[in-house]
Chain A
Amino acid sequence: MIDLDDTDRSLLRALAGDGTLSAGELGRRFGLSQPAAWRRLRRLEEAGVIAGRRVVVDLSKLGFGVTVFLGVKLATKGRVSLEDFERAATAIPEVQVVQHVLGLFDYRLRVVARDLADFERVLRRRIMTLPGVGNLEANVLLTEERRPGPLGATETVVKG
Chain B
Amino acid sequence: MQLDETDRRILRHLLAEPALPRADLAERAGVTPATLWRRIEKLRAGGVILAETAVIDWRRMGYEVEVSLRFTLEKSNPRALDEFIAAAREVPEVIGIETFLGRVDARLNVIARDMGHWTELYRARILALPHIAEVEALMLVSTIKDAGGLPI
Q: Which residues of A contact B (CB under 8 A)?
A: 1-2, 4, 12, 15-20, 47-59, 61-64, 69, 71, 86, 89-90, 93-105, 108, 112, 137-147, 149-152, 154, 156-158, 160
Asked if B55 and A52 make an inter-chain contact with CB atoms under 8 angstroms apart, the answer reads yes
- A12, A18, A50, A142: the one contacting B99 at CB < 8 Å is A142
B61 (CB) vs chain A CBs: closest residue:
A49
The size bracket of the interface on B is: 35 or more
Q: Which 10 A-B pairs have the closest CB atoms?
A: A139-B102, A15-B54, A19-B54, A51-B57, A103-B138, A139-B100, A101-B138, A93-B151, A98-B145, A53-B18
Known contacts A54-B148, A145-B98; A48/B140 CB under 8 A: no
Known contacts A15-B53, A58-B50; A147/B143 CB under 8 A: no
Judged by a CB distance under 8 angstroms, whether B142 is at the interface is: yes
B67-115 contacts to A (CB < 8 Å): 68, 89-90, 92-104, 107, 111
- A2, A16, A18, A143: the one contacting B98 at CB < 8 Å is A143
CA distance A156 to B51 in the complex (A): 13
- A16, A47, A53, A55: the one contacting B60 at CB < 8 Å is A47
Q: Which residues of A are found within 8 Å of B93, using beta-carbon distances?
A: 149-150
Asked if A147 and B18 make an inter-chain contact with CB atoms under 8 angstroms apart, the answer reads no
